[in-house]
Amino acid sequence: MIADARRLLAPRVILGTVSAAFVALGAWWLSCHPPVPAQKPKPEIYLAVHAMPANYRLSKADMKPADQAQKDSTLPQYLGKYLVHDVPADQPVETANLRAKPVLSPSTGKDIFPFSLEGRPDLIETLNTGSKIDLYQNTQAVLKQVPVLAIQCDPPASTSCKVILDVTAEEKNKLSALELARITIFERKP
């Protein structure tokens, strides 16, 4: 009976000993080779190509990657957004400094005048906050050196945009009386 018990117990003892050896060996291996923590990808940073004032509408041409190896996977979250604060040239454009719509605050004694840029996609990319424009009807100057407060697009990344002008009450009345579809806009270069 004792011999039968030893014969039944021997394989269990051997199996238990081998299992314990594998557990000890695994513990030793893990202590010598700790797992490497996953590294978070570096955030993509974009720098201003030129100085941009608050309310400036961002386009791809306004920013460059801070690191040449960087992919442009987060660039779309910047496009069509507006700056909250000024950004100097070669400084980071931070997502915390972006908003979905411009703030339309006319100068003292002035008012805003929205002017459609429908059918003028070239102006959507060239005009922006801080630009000055001349307005002509045929060959007659209607207004000169009119400040642009913002370019407002709906939705933000679309081409359905308006240039928001900073005008006096007299200039607003003059523009309101005209057929705006016949007005030509020329950007004033500084």
CATH 3.40.50 fits 46-99, yes or no: no
Full-prediction pTM beyond 0.85? no
Question: How crowded is the C-beta side of 136, counted as CA atoms within 13 Å?
Answer: 10
Pairwise CA distance, residues 170 & 65, whole Å: 45
CA distance 34 to 186: 66
- The Cα–Cα gap between 70 and 168 comes to 46
Rounded Cα gap, residues 35 and 108, in angstroms: 63
Q: What residue ranges of the chain are covered by domains with CATH 3.90.1210?
A: 46-99
Q: Report angle CA 102, 186, 157 to the nearest 5 degrees.
A: 35
Each residue's pLDDT tens digit in the chain (190 positions)?
Answer: 555 555 555 566 666 666 666 666 666 766 776 777 766 666 678 899 999 999 999 988 999 988 876 777 778 888 889 999 999 999 999 989 999 999 999 999 999 999 888 888 888 888 999 999 999 988 889 999 999 999 988 776 667 889 999 999 999 999 888 888 788 888 877 6
